[in-house]
Amino acid sequence: LFLRVFVRSRTGASIVALRDNEEYAISRGVSIVRQRMLTLAASAFFTGIAGAFYAAYQRNASIDVFGMSLATIILSMVLLGGTSTIYGAIIASFVLTIFAEWMADFGAWRPMITAVLIIGVMLAYPSGLVGMIKASWGAVAGRLKRPA
């Protein structure tokens, strides 16, 4: 909820403008250095909050808890969900968690099958699951509007 409010604020809009078209944002008076520093600080803040929640969940705070496999899973969730939306990563986290549990019997093949799934979705829909949902919804809405 806080991220949604942040993205819709004036500061969030300037960060999105820098992401989408840097020259246009500069011409509108957006300070690149200020916005990038603010983005870095916000990213570090939310990463710290997530780390605190994860440490409380694990009841342990050590470097061994956060390994390469967890980093890969988190990055996969962001990429699969879509890098430009907040809800995409949330949807992808549910999809990947359910898929991983469903594939538990496959043992060592599970990461390979998951990787193929992610690569397939990213090739078909570069904007991730959210892009796939929007495209599917657009196709369904188009069929509903068409006269019989």
Span 46-68, pLDDT tens digits: 889 988 888 888 887 777 767 77
- Domain shared by 86 and 120, yes or no: yes
- pLDDT tens-place string over residues 75-127: 888 888 887 777 888 888 888 888 888 888 888 888 888 888 888 888 888 88
* Structure confidence at residue 8 (pLDDT): 82
* Structure confidence at residue 146 (pLDDT): 62
Residue 97 belongs to domain spanning: 67-148
> Cα separation of 14 and 19, whole Å?
9
- Domain shared by 145 and 119, yes or no: yes
- Domain shared by 87 and 14, yes or no: no
The residue written with tokens 């879509």 in the block is 82
* Structure confidence at residue 41 (pLDDT): 92
Domain count, the chain: 2
Task: Tell me the C-alpha to C-alpha distance, in Å, between residue 66 and each of 72, 74, 108.
Answer: 10, 11, 20
Task: Tell me the C-alpha to C-alpha distance, in Å, between residue 30 and each of 8, 15, 42.
Answer: 16, 9, 17
- Domain shared by 75 and 36, yes or no: no
- Domain shared by 148 and 96, yes or no: yes
84's tokens: 């430009």
Helix (H) or strand (E) holding 26: helix 22-27
Angle of CA points 118, 42, 70, to nearest 5°: 35
> Cα separation of 70 and 65, whole Å?
9
* Structure confidence at residue 44 (pLDDT): 92
Helix ranges restricted to H, 62-109: 68-81, 86-102
Task: Answer whether residue 148 shows pLDDT above 60.
Answer: no
- Domain shared by 80 and 57, yes or no: no
Intra-chain end-to-end CA distance of the chain, in Å:
41
95's tokens: 């999809």
